[in-house]
Structure 1
Amino acid sequence: MADQLCGSAVIGEGRFGCNHFEWQPEDPAPVLGFNHMKERMIMVMGFQFWKQTAALAAASFLALAIGGEALAWESTKVYYNNQGQLQYAVDSDANRIVDFSYAGYHRGERDIPDSSAISPVLNVSPVTGDNTTALQQALNTVAAWPLNANGIRGVVLLAAGDYPVHGTLRINASGVILKGAGFDDDPALNTVLRRPLLTTTNKNPVLVAGGNLSSNWSGGDTPQNRRDITSSIVSVCNRSFTVASTAGLAAGDNIIIKHPSTQAWIDSVGGGGTAGDPSWTVDSLPLVFNRYITGISGNTVTIDAPLTNKLNRSLSQSYLYKYDRAGLLTEIGVENLQITIDTASPTSENHAEDALVFNTVEDSWVNRVKVKHFVNKGIVLQTSSRVTVQNSYSVEPHSKDEGGRRYNFGVESGQLNLFVNNLAQQGRHSYFGNGATWDSGNVFLDNTAKDSYDVSEPHRKWGHGFLYDNHKELDLRGTNKIVLGLYNRGDYGTSHGWSAANSVLWNCDVGKGKAIIEHPPTAENYAIGCKGNISGTGGPFRSVIPTTTGFIEGTGQTQLSIPSLYRVQLAERLGYTYPAVADAFVRAGSFSATNYGSAASMELKNSDNSKYDRDIYLKLDYTGYSRGQIGKAYLMFYVDYSEPKQPLSFYGLANDNWSEDTITWDTAPSAAGAIVTGTVEVSATGWYSVDVTDYIKSQTDKMASFKVTDRSQANVLARISSKESTAYGKPFLVISPQ
């Protein structure tokens, strides 16, 4: 006997898909779960009475789900389709979520260089007294060495020790890596660059890397070098458009795209939404994009990374020009050291304002650096693109708790930069953008803010295309403060107005704080799958402008099918997704010698009578993954049928020696010694994911086999779509280098 009740009920931002029931003759009598109740009522009470009773049972079941059951939850704005491909919804204003995967060192397409394998190396030890001259001489020495094929000159390797630095150190050439022995506090084991408290105050940064121009990529913007963009609209995330002439342009050219801030554009965004402050002014806030040409066909130009804001020719005539790259430096690395600033007290300000500044830099990195006791900025990227800042600490700022202070990690005219796995402490703006319309495409991934005084945000004047992905707040100073903001800042500062557009909070946890998401004119902001107080109604200028709520969904969901937006976007773009090469389910009892390798749907069940049990086996081949680093790995699978609350356990096996054409319950590989990768509770149809990072990292042959089982003994059935399915997506592995 088989029966099927199909329907879809929306619960807040969650969804239930079709629930199916299948009772096979060998199965025990169904007694648990809503579908089992339904089957028994059909048999005993008749269809009409069942419909009424089932409706009540369904209502009770759905109410239980609202109470916190983990569901397969996907955003309506970006999600996997049935074939396992990312899909994006576009609203009536042609707004959509940006593809953020181009952020980071070489657009995320290369690993940061392994400095331990780079030569030549200049070894340096601390000297007595001020080390500024000795360290600068070492940096200048390596700066004079020739570039290798990868654009690297060599490494200045600092021994452990305390290095008093009275002045400012400058890395003033491409291809120079400054590396220490460690970034913790003990100078006996680590490298500490220390600005002492001097009789004559030096408020300049301790270390500056780059060209020191702060040009906002303006070099080359002359009338004769401009090419008008003739497309009437270039929508968010587009990479192609037409120009008046492609003469003199070629693939590989570094270009700047500029959308001037005309009065018409300013009017379209409500004057900037500045509340009582003056409106934004003509030519003060152009939308600027630093890009490379990847192709030319006729008058159509294709660029390397998508736009993060719409270009509307009816509001402003956009154009492009070839960037002259004057003063731009590349392939600079700062690693494995600490920068600390001596101060008179935790609230004093008579000391260095900034610790580490990257200025006019591209394709560079900061890794394992700790900065302490700055007034204004800890680690900041100015007029910089495609820089990765990772595994670093910006902590214990020493200053008053006032404006213009305690900016831990961020950008000022920064584009396509990636901040990943960092810790900010006691910040007013822990993770920020402060370059107005020149800021775009920046990603903050897996970062933590602790003891926050104020909000992480694009800070002012239309920063666009920011992603906060898996951001976490800990130990907030006070309660219910705004700690993440994509909103209107009105007359804060100097006419800050709309600070963010086309920006996203994804799977963030605001702890005891709150996030405010507001809808800017002509654009959108999003908060998807976040935890805590996520609102569009608590903005500081909502009653003045007035503002409306941005797009918010999935608040409180604990089981997102896409755990990290940046990672799945990067994996899909670079081809780091690996479908199952073998999959099958096996069945106990009288079917223990039967092979189900050709089934389109794989069954899972665990009964109090083991002869009815069914397990699933998956094999995935990722030998095509050539990157040296694995940041995260997710196993994605599509549940095409599930009964309520079924916990699936995933075991990473040591044995890949099985075939889907021959595997049975009797011949299946043992799970002895298997790595338990996690448990996922399935309660509805849809895509699910499980983090299998540690297991994938352990497989030196780049082959992965999983046993999937249900140990609940609840007599419930789930089915996972197999690689043979034509209706739903096959299981696949997602690997992200970050």
Structure 2
Amino acid sequence: MKKIILGSAVLLLLIAGFSFHPIKDWQSKFVRQTKNGSLQYTPDEKGNIIPDFSRVGYYHGDKEIPSIAVVKTLQPSSNSEQEIQAAIDELAKRTLDKAGFRGTILLKKGTYKINGTITIQESGIVLRGEGDDTKLIAAGTDKRPLIKVTGKGSIKEVEGSRAKITDAYVPVGTFSFNVANARGFKKGDKIIVSRPGTKEWIRDLKMDQIVERKGTKQWQPEEYNLRFEREITKIEGTKIYLDNPIVMPMEAKYGGGEIFKYTFDGRIAHVGIENMYFESEYLSDTAENHAWDAVLFDKIENGWVRNVIARYFGYSCVNLSGGAKNISVLNSNCFEHKSVITGSRRYSFNNDGQQNLFMNCHATDGRHDFVTGARVHGPNVFVNCTAKRTHADIGPHHRWAMGTLYDNIVTDGEINVQDRGQMGSGHGWSGITQVLWNCTVKRSAVQSPYGVSGNNYCIGLKGEKVAGHFKDRPEAI
């Protein structure tokens, strides 16, 4: 594992495959770099710290993304879509090797016309081009993803495995807590850290008092039963240690928390999309009847998208749905969206999943270029990314994203973390433990929700700080 300095070279993360030299003599009252290059975090009066965002992306950065051997090579043809899908389906029948891969399908240079969606539903398949000269054109007038990578099923609780968290307050940034009974758990177990939604919590956030307009929905407790995916790294008595930190406090006054083991039968792994160019046909600059996503991932873990370009899509270059976990999106670009400029469009790099990394990505003409949706469970990271000619803002979009780092994001628009109130259908507070670190913006509003469930942070910002949609909301740290 290699150390790197991200952002304007001040926040040290541990992500395999990239290496920069540490920068000397930088200071923050929240985190400081020690002589050996490690980070030391300063807790607040409750023990909360800025969490460690290093363990995101492909295998948490513990493994480099591999180069998988080519087992099938295709050339452009008048039947490209069927040939690509047939090659994927054929490869899916192969036995996985010891590393969990089946092989790579190489698309040689040229133009491949795709009228539908290329679908990958099995583990261990890599789809690779020869760079920008391998062009996949989403033809026709259907709104769809060009490439869809998805497994099956959903998270299922292992019956009888629940254990109550006994600590009255589990602070942000900690990797451990005590439970009533640790018997039945072991190192390596995949668990859910569960936090209930309660009326008291919503009341203190004032999300049952959203100023209404037509279509506004007040927050409901049952919609905020939060489930963070974690793995046990160690057990000492009743103390459970995790592979990733807590990014939202567990508080007895709001119902505390529990852990339980889970399965996700049907979730796939080890799929990569790399080294190619995607383009959508369109009828006009505001056309809506054409391809929406270049690449869509769901129900997959430990995969990647790297070195791709998407042009003229209505929604995204890469869209990670809620079942996508530990995905690395690297060195990719989303240019010149084509759609009406309004809601639910032009989300260049969208993340609804957990423990995902977007690094060295760039966008033009988008709305929400680096964005999370509702109830997105962190940690998640956007780092070293740019956005130009923006039509809206970067940041958590609505209804409580938890634990996101925006590190060295440069935009000619805005990055906002705020109470969005009645925007949309009642967006409300967009997130908690949202960290802006050395970002460059035209303007930015960063607020914290009344001291409820932690804080948001804005450190090293270059650009104008503004009050936000509601000027009376508390300012972030």
Amino acid across the alignment from 1:550: A
* 1:297 shift after superposition: 2.2
Structure 2 residue runs of 5 or longer lacking an equivalent are 1-23
- Sort the Cα spacing of 1:326 and 1:494 in 2 relative to 1 into closer, same or farther, 3 A: farther
Q: Is the 8 A contact 1:460 1:497 kept in 2?
A: yes
* 1:318 shift after superposition: 1.7
Match of 1:106 among 37, 40, 59: 59
Q: Alignment length, in residue pairs?
A: 448
Amino acid across the alignment from 2:31: V
Secondary structure at 1:314 match in 2: helix
Judge which range, 155-164 or 245-254, deviates more. 245-254
Match of 1:274 among 210, 226, 234: 210
- Sort the Cα spacing of 1:389 and 1:83 in 2 relative to 1 into closer, same or farther, 3 A: closer
Amino acid across the alignment from 1:281: Q
CA distance in 2, matches of 1:274, 1:439: 23
Amino acid across the alignment from 1:502: T
Q: Is the 8 A contact 1:260 1:286 kept in 2?
A: yes
CA distance in 1, matches of 2:54, 2:340: 37
Match of 2:118 among 169, 187, 190: 169
- Sort the Cα spacing of 1:72 and 1:299 in 2 relative to 1 into closer, same or farther, 3 A: closer
Secondary structure at 1:345 match in 2: coil
Q: Is the 8 A contact 1:286 1:437 kept in 2?
A: no
Alignment match, 1:657: none
* 1:529 shift after superposition: 1.1
Matches for 1:114-153 after TM superposition, within 5 Å: 115=67, 118-129=68-79, 131-153=80-102
Alignment match, 1:454: 392
Match of 1:498 among 424, 429, 438: 429
Match of 2:448 among 506, 516, 519: 519
Judge which range, 312-321 or 162-171, deviates more. 312-321
| % same residue | 34
Q: Is the 8 A contact 2:70 2:105 kept in 1?
A: no
Matches for 1:566-645 after TM superposition, within 5 Å: none
- Sort the Cα spacing of 1:526 and 1:256 in 2 relative to 1 into closer, same or farther, 3 A: same
Q: Is the 8 A contact 1:259 1:316 kept in 2?
A: yes
Alignment match, 1:444: 382
Match of 1:350 among 262, 265, 289: 289
CA distance in 2, matches of 1:331, 1:85: 30
Amino acid across the alignment from 1:100: F
Match of 1:206 among 146, 150, 161: 146
Alignment match, 1:463: 401
Q: Is the 8 A contact 2:152 2:265 kept in 1?
A: no
Judge which range, 320-329 or 415-424, deviates more. 320-329
Amino acid across the alignment from 2:147: L
Alignment match, 1:78: 31
CA distance in 2, matches of 1:226, 1:167: 44
CA distance in 2, matches of 1:278, 1:140: 43
- Sort the Cα spacing of 1:444 and 1:272 in 2 relative to 1 into closer, same or farther, 3 A: farther
Matches for 1:127-526 after TM superposition, within 5 Å: 127-129=77-79, 131-183=80-132, 190-197=133-140, 201-211=141-151, 215=154, 218-220=155-157, 224-271=160-207, 274-276=210-212, 277-382=216-321, 383-412=323-352, 414-434=353-373, 436-474=374-412, 476=413, 483-510=414-441, 513-521=442-450, 522=452, 523-526=454-457
- Sort the Cα spacing of 1:401 and 1:221 in 2 relative to 1 into closer, same or farther, 3 A: farther
Matches for 1:18-57 after TM superposition, within 5 Å: none
Matches for 1:529-540 after TM superposition, within 5 Å: 529-535=460-466, 538-540=467-469
Q: Is the 8 A contact 1:293 1:302 kept in 2?
A: yes
* 1:110 shift after superposition: 1.6
- Sort the Cα spacing of 1:452 and 1:171 in 2 relative to 1 into closer, same or farther, 3 A: same
CA distance in 2, matches of 1:525, 1:137: 48
* 1:427 shift after superposition: 0.8
Secondary structure at 2:55 match in 1: coil
Secondary structure at 1:302 match in 2: strand
Alignment match, 1:560: none
CA distance in 2, matches of 1:143, 1:517: 46
Alignment match, 2:5: none
Alignment match, 1:606: none
Q: Is the 8 A contact 1:287 1:438 kept in 2?
A: no
Q: Is the 8 A contact 1:272 1:461 kept in 2?
A: no
Alignment match, 1:550: 476
Measured against aligned partners, the alpha-carbon deviations of 1:451-500 in whole angstroms (never above 9, x if no partner) come to: 111101111111011111111114x5xxxxxx101111111112211102
* 1:347 shift after superposition: 0.9
CA distance in 2, matches of 1:289, 1:273: 27
Measured against aligned partners, the alpha-carbon deviations of 1:268-289 in whole angstroms (never above 9, x if no partner) come to: 3222673434431011012221
* 1:245 shift after superposition: 2.5
Amino acid across the alignment from 2:419: N
Q: Which has the larger radius of gyration?
A: 1
TM-score, length-normalised on structure 1? 0.59
Amino acid across the alignment from 2:69: S
Secondary structure at 1:441 match in 2: strand
Alignment match, 1:665: none
Q: Which has the higher helix share?
A: 1
Secondary structure at 1:148 match in 2: coil
- Sort the Cα spacing of 1:95 and 1:295 in 2 relative to 1 into closer, same or farther, 3 A: closer
Q: Is the 8 A contact 1:433 1:439 kept in 2?
A: no
Amino acid across the alignment from 1:270: K
Secondary structure at 1:279 match in 2: coil
Alignment match, 1:682: none
Measured against aligned partners, the alpha-carbon deviations of 1:11-60 in whole angstroms (never above 9, x if no partner) come to: xxxxxxxxxxxxxxxxxxxxxxxxxxxxxxxxxxxxxxxxxxxxxxxxxx
* 1:120 shift after superposition: 4.8
- Sort the Cα spacing of 1:486 and 1:342 in 2 relative to 1 into closer, same or farther, 3 A: same
Q: Is the 8 A contact 2:51 2:174 kept in 1?
A: no
